[in-house]
Chain A
Amino acid sequence: MSNFPDSLLGFSVGLLETGLVMAQSAMKNAQSTIDKLTGQNNGEVKGAPLNGPEDLDLAVADFVNRLTRVYRYAPLELAKLPTTSGDVLAAARESFRNVNLKDPRNLALPVQLALSVGTLFTESALRGLVTLDVVGPTKVPRLVEDFFEMFTESPVFVGLEYGELIDRCERRLAEAPDDYRARMELARVLSKCGRYEDADVEFKKIPPESGYYATALHEAGTALYRAGRFEAAVRTEVQSMDANPADDRPRLVMFQAAERMGGYPLFVPQAYRMEVKAGFATPTVYFEDIAARIGIDKTSGGRGTAVFDYDNDGWLDIAVTSAYGGATLYHNNGDGTFTDVSVTSGLDTATNTFAVIAGDYNNDGFIDLYITRSGFYVGEGQLFRNNGDGTFTDVTAEAGLKNVWGPAFTASWVDYDGDGLLDLFVANNLGGLFERKTPNRLFHNNGDGTFTEVTEQAGLKTIWPTIGGAWGDYDNDGRMDLFLSNGIGRSQLYHNNGDGTFTDVSDLAGVTAMGFGSPAFWWDYDNDGWMDIGQFIWSDHDDVIYTMRNGQGPQSGQSMRVYHNNRDGTFTMVSRELGLTECWGTMSGSFGDFNNDGYLDVALGNGSPKLDRLDPMIIFENDGRKFRNTSFAAGLPLTGKSHGVNMADLFGDGRLSILVGAGGAYPGDLLTTSVYCPTSLPGNYLNVRLIGVKSNRSAIGARVSIEAGGKKQFREVSGGTNFGCLPLEQHFGLANIVKVDALEIRWPSGSRQRFEGLPVNKTLEFTEGQSAWGDVYANSRKDLS
């Protein structure tokens, strides 16, 4: 945390939050008053405004976001001002065209407009202050530039408007070949489209006097790296460092390109080389990427991953969402290979998607999927019902979820009220640089295939942009509580009161640290029977490069957070004590005992939308005392970009593979999904699957504990916490223990079962209320060793 804001922002985050709440409630009250005056019913549930915003407040936010884009792409010359004004007018028309001017509410338009604009800017300004508080003043300019790029471009690329952007830049350059800003824009867009060689040509036309020279060379080097021209990439990055030795970004891309060549070529000056100090702790398990070998070889802008058995054949299948194109479903053939069944299953109809979560919401024995969209822009979520015949049907509308549109990164299945039905929680980010925060939303499952929104009754309103929501029972009262990891702002913990309402206990619990929170999760990393919190943090490029070179993050940086549960409703942040001092740009991640030693390990998927953020995936082995970064020593690549990280025993043989949906925000991010499988079985194990009867059938929320070798281990079945969804199967590492003395299940219904004397190295299935258990792979004759 930076020291700077202590003086400038002597007032608390709480005050900023009050400002945000006031701005929102002022707007809401005004809307409600206007509605009353004009006799409007504000209670109706509206569908997603697919043709554009229908109310004034949204239209204002939309217009401001459009203005930022007009500004971004406007030529600098005064002579071009008329075109720009035209763009502004056109943007206004577009934003406001669906706001019904005959609506009586618009009688109050002048009042509402002023309030809408005023409060929107107040909110954005307050969030800006919080950002300043988190990163400190020196890093703000680049961060603002990056956020500006991210939010303004998202609609351009998703909406396939980059063709027009290229035309526009080319037209401009035909008139003014020395407009270097336009040329940089052109080269960048080409790069983001994957036209790397064309981008390189344009970047190289930027001369030293332009002010963009070093950056242009760095970005050309990145484009060349991505085009597979590694030596040219190294040469270009050397030129970039010649022009600006202070920038470490070229150093990293140069290093990554050199790695692909087998080492630095002789022409690279010593001063430009780097040594990676992070990631070389001695591993207890080694990995190899088996994705292509097992049939997961497709190029995809992979984002979320869900591992689940969609056809009940016992083998775990894989769903991968995609930034561009449709979602993929891979069927596990049970012989060590997978078949792409995306088209047949109907899941490829879900285009431009983010998170995917698996849960049997209708308790029919077949696991269904909910998929979110966007994250920097609004899109509709989709509910896919598993028909049980290998196909999925989009039932979003009939489930009453058609109005779930928003900038959602993640979602979770949870039975928050213990009625045996999975409810749905959707976490929303900000949908634009200027946006009134779209609320996170909680939907109650009515049991008849439909859902009813209960966000307000539940008291789950938040004004911070949420990246991840994690459900877990921190106080062992049998009810699922909610931890929110927010992108800008403080984290939040909501206690489940058991009556359908929640209380924000963040301050009391001591989990309010600020930062760029990524997805979070509940885990019992120290096996004490109390669920702790893991929270990923996104760090900027400088802190990541610093970490790679120094083996730990800078003093001002933020590492992944672990909050230890003090068993009294409070938590203590223990990251540093656990050895978690490295800063990575974590976008998502997952946990699991991949070295089968009885302690939960963790994997971090890293990067950012920017093309040069080729951050490697990182794993930390937990030995019960410390977390050690063994990534590169264990065989993981030094380059990457990873979104949906997941862990699963894909072959039923006790080896926990790490799956990585690798892909980015731009169509040019052409990467394939990776599956890092341990090269050998690192220890004994027990996999546990649960079937709820009185509880929800997926048993999401169930607590499983085992006693073996004098030690206990605890797991809670999660319904999705990161961009993907952990397998519902619970994996326990047992090292050299050969017998499980006891296994206890606390079902979400509250009932408990205890089993004694279980075998190891099996995948066992337990059904609620039944004393006999099944051996999932007992009838499998396939030898996968």
Chain B
Amino acid sequence: MQHENEQQKFGEPLSDFSLQSLGGPTVSLSSKLQGKKGAVVVIWSSTCSHCIRYDKYFNSFEERYPDLSLVVVSARQGETLDAVRMAAAQRRLKFCLVHDPTSSVARQWFTQQTPRAFLVDANRGLLYRGAIDNYKYVDDPEHLAYLEPALDQFLSGSAITRQETSSYGCAIQSVYYVLPKVFTKST
């Protein structure tokens, strides 16, 4: 039996998706790719403390990469549209954020943790998947970016040297029995 991740091959198109954006209208990956060279899709969660680090990076992403789209998919199990809206307002998130209440994209794209970034070309062909960088702290001398070199290589037409880096982050689905809710909603 082949592992499911094997179904997602480099160079081959990833499945399209169509999800509600925070603003209301439905956004599809293919529509975001129109007129662009490619797109970065990030599987994301409003509660994930690792995602928070990239708020500024995502906010200014399309300014820095006008040839690329950014689509951020909120995918955490049980994450409501309201919660995502509230986080977006509080954190002044300006990037294209879509809500995936059933974690369908994460499932179809075999993603278990947030944040995970995917770089696809205009035909949704997979170019890079994995972590954004190996952040430990600001000004870390050992800091290494993973996504950016892939973007730069893609945009300059050269081969992507590091196509995959498994990402560190928060689980999308609880692997524990669904006990928690320590903070059960009091009635």
A352 touching B171, Cβ below 8 Å: yes
Question: Complex: how many Å from CA A342 to CA B129?
Answer: 11
A228/B138 in contact, CB under 8 A: yes
Contact (Cβ within 8 A) B168 A158:
no
Q: How many Å lie between the Cα of A93 and that of B179 in the bound state?
A: 11
Whether A351 contacts B175 in the complex (CB less than 8 A), given A298-B131, A324-B169, A340-B166, comes out as yes
A301 B48 Cβ-Cβ under 8 A:
no
Q: Is the CB of B142 within 8 A of A292?
A: yes
In the complex, the answer to whether B176 meets A374 with C-beta atoms within 8 Å is yes
Determine if A87 is an interface residue (Cβ-Cβ < 8 Å).
Answer: yes
Kindly state whether residue B134 has any CB partner on chain A within 8 Å: yes
On whether the beta carbons of B182 and A391 are closer than 8 Å, the reply is no
- A146-158 vs B: 1/0 string, CB under 8 Å? 0000001001101
Residue of B nearest to A382 (CB): B175
Decide if A161 touches B177 in the complex (CB within 8 Å). Answer: no
- CA of A670 to CA of B112 in the docked complex: distance in angstroms? 19
- B105 shortest CB reach to chain A, Å: 16
B170→A324 contact, CB < 8 A: yes
- Contact of B184 with A by CB under 8 A: yes
Question: Contact between B49 and A352 (Cβ–Cβ < 8 Å)?
Answer: no
- CB under 8 Å from chain B, chain A span 652-668: 667-668
Closest to B165 in A: A340
Tell me if A344 counts as interface (CB < 8 A to partner B).
yes
A161 partner residues in chain B, CB cutoff 8 A? 180-183
**A155-B134 CB under 8 A given contacts A162-B47, A163-B47, A324-B170:** no
B2 contacts A391, C-beta separation under 8 Å: yes
Query: Is the Cβ of B168 less than 8 Å from the Cβ of A52?
Result: no
Measured between beta carbons, the chain B residues less than 8 angstroms from A193 are 49, 52
Q: Which of A43-51, A513-521, A631-639 contacts B (4 or more CB under 8 A)?
A: A43-51
Given A48-B177, A292-B142, A346-B5, the answer on whether A297 and B134 have CB atoms closer than 8 Å is yes
User: Per a CB cutoff under 8 Å, which of A94, A292, A392 touches B184?
Assistant: A94
Q: Is B3 an interface residue when CB atoms closer than 8 A count as contact?
A: yes
On chain A, the residues within 8 Å of B20 by CB distance are none
Q: Within 8 Å CB of A343, what residues of B? A: 5, 110, 129-130, 164, 166
- How far is A90 from B171 in the complex, measured between Cα atoms in Å? 25
Inter-chain contact B185/A90, CB cutoff 8 Å: yes
CB distance from A61 to the nearest CB of B (A): 11
Query: Is B1's CB under 8 angstroms from A387's CB?
Result: yes
Q: Contact check, B136 vs A667: say whether CB atoms are below 8 A apart.
A: no
Contact residues in B for A298 (Cβ distance below 8 Å)? 131, 134, 165-166, 168
CB contact under 8 A between A667 and B176, given known A163-B47, A299-B135: no
A769 lies within 8 A of chain B by Cβ: no
**B112 CB to nearest A CB, Å:** 5
CB distance from A154 to the nearest CB of B (A): 9
Q: How far is the CB of B47 from chain A (nearest CB, A)?
A: 4
Flag B96-131 by CB within 8 Å of A: 1 or 0 each: 000000000000001011000000000000000111
In the bound assembly, the distance between CA atoms of A599 and B78 in angstroms comes to: 54
What A residues does B179 contact at CB under 8 A? 52, 62, 94-95, 155, 159
A165 at the binding interface (Cβ < 8 Å): yes
Does chain A have a CB within 8 A of B85?
no
Contact of B180 (CB < 8 Å), options: A155, A299, A380: A155
How close is B180's CB to chain A, nearest CB, in angstroms?
3
Using CB atoms, name the residue of chain A closest to B146.
Answer: A298
Chain A residues with Cβ below 8 Å from B168 are 298-301, 322, 324-325, 670
Q: A667–B49 contact, CB under 8 A? A: yes
Bound Cα distance A771, B24 (Å): 73
Asked if B63 lies at the interface with its beta carbon under 8 angstroms from chain A, I say no
Interface size class of B (residues with CB under 8 A): 35 or more
A530 / chain B contacts, CB cutoff of 8 Å: none
Tell whether, in the assembled complex, residue A159 and residue B180 are in contact, meaning their CB atoms are under 8 Å apart: yes
From DSSP, what is the main secondary structure of chain A's interface residues?
mixed
Does the CB pair B171–A387 fall under 8 Å?
A: no
| Chain B contact residues, majority secondary structure | loop
Which positions 134-187 of chain B face chain A at CB distance < 8 Å?
A: 134-140, 142, 144, 164-171, 174-187
Q: Which residues of A contact B49 (CB under 8 A)?
A: 162, 193-195, 667-668
A377 interface residue per 8 A CB criterion: yes
Minimal Cβ-Cβ distance residue in B for A389: B2
Query: Is B183's CB under 8 angstroms from A73's CB?
Result: yes
In contact, A378 and B182 (Cβ under 8 angstroms): no
Neighbouring B residues of A322 by C-beta, 8 Å: 168
Q: Does A405 contact B (CB under 8 A)?
A: yes
Interface string of A215-234 (1 = CB under 8 A from B): 00000000000111100000
Closest to B9 in A: A344
**B19 → chain A closest CB, angstroms:** 21
Chain A residue with Cβ nearest B76 = A160
Q: Provide the residues of chain A in CB contact with B136, threshold 8 Å.
A: 228, 299, 670-672
A379 at the interface (CB under 8 A from B): yes
Q: Which residues of B sit under 8 angstroms from A90, Cβ to Cβ?
A: 181, 184-187
**8 Å CB contact of B177 from A165, A195, A344, A405:** A405
In the bound complex, CA of A156 to CA of B3 (Å): 31
| Contact in complex: B176, A391 (CB < 8 Å) | no
Does B37 have its Cβ within 8 Å of any Cβ on chain A? Answer: no
* Cα separation A51 to B180 with both chains bound (whole Å): 10
Instruction: Give chain A residues whose Cβ lies under 8 Å from the Cβ of B131.
Output: 298-299
Q: How far is the CA of A95 from the CA of B181 in the complex (A)?
A: 10
Pick from A227, A325, A377, A392: contact of B169, CB below 8 A. Answer: A325
Please name all residues of chain B whose beta carbon is closer than 8 Å to the beta carbon of A348 when the two chains form the complex. 5, 112-113, 166-167
A324 to B166, CA, bound (A): 12
Evaluate contact between B171 and A324: CB separation under 8 angstroms: yes
B45 contacts partner chain A, Cβ-Cβ < 8 Å: yes
Nearest chain B residue, comparing its CB with the CB of A329: B166
Chain A residue numbers with a CB within 8 Å of B135 are: 299, 670
> A334-366 vs B: 1/0 string, CB under 8 Å?
000000111111101101100000000000000
Known A325-B169, A348-B166, A387-B2; judge A227-B138 contact (CB<8 A): yes
B46 lies within 8 A of chain A by Cβ: yes
Question: Contacts of A676 on B, CB cut-off 8 Å?
Answer: none
CA distance A179 to B46 in the complex (A): 27
Complex CA distance for A298 and B176, rounded to whole angstroms: 25
Beta-carbon contact of B134 and A391 below 8 Å:
no
Does A118 sit at the interface, judged by CB under 8 A?
no
Q: Residue A326 at the B interface, CB < 8 A?
A: yes
Task: Give the residues in chain A near B137, CB-CB below 8 Å.
Answer: 196, 226-228, 670
User: Do A352 and B175 touch across chains, with their CB atoms under 8 A apart?
Assistant: yes
Residues on A with beta carbons closer than 8 Å to the beta carbon of B112: 325-326, 348-349, 351
A163-187 Cβ-contact flags toward B at 8 Å (1 or 0): 1110010000000000000000000
CB distance from B116 to the nearest CB of A (A): 9
User: Do the beta carbons of A83 and B176 come within 8 Å of each other?
Assistant: no
Asked if A455 is at the interface (CB within 8 A of a chain B CB), the reply is no
Residues of A within 8 A of B144 (CB): 292, 297
B50 within 8 A of A: yes
Residue from B53, B142, B177 with most neighbouring chain A CB atoms (10 Å):
B177
**Chain A, 548-559, contact with B by CB distance < 8 Å: what is the 0/1 string?**
000000000000
Supposing A163-B46, A345-B3 touch, asked if A86 and B186 sit within 8 A by C-beta, the answer is yes
CA distance A379 to B175 in the complex (A): 7
Complex Cα distance A53/B177, Å? 9
Min CB–CB distance A611 → chain B (angstroms) = 13
Given A52-B178, A340-B165, A392-B3; 6 other pairs, CB 8 A cutoff: A52-B177, A160-B47, A163-B46, A193-B49, A299-B134, A325-B112
By a beta-carbon cutoff of 8 Å, the part of chain A in contact with chain B is: 48-53, 62, 66, 69-70, 73, 83, 86-87, 89-91, 93-95, 152, 155-156, 158-165, 168, 193-196, 226-229, 292, 297-301, 322, 324-326, 328, 340-346, 348-349, 351-352, 373-374, 377-380, 387, 389, 391-393, 405, 667-668, 670-672
Q: 5 shortest A-B CB distances, which residue pairs?
A: A86-B186, A159-B180, A90-B184, A342-B166, A228-B137
Residues in chain B within 8 A of chain A (CB atoms):
1-6, 45-50, 52-53, 76, 110, 112-113, 129-131, 134-140, 142, 144, 164-171, 174-187
A-B contact pairs, 8 of them (CB 8 A): A90-B181, A94-B181, A158-B174, A158-B176, A299-B168, A328-B166, A340-B166, A349-B110
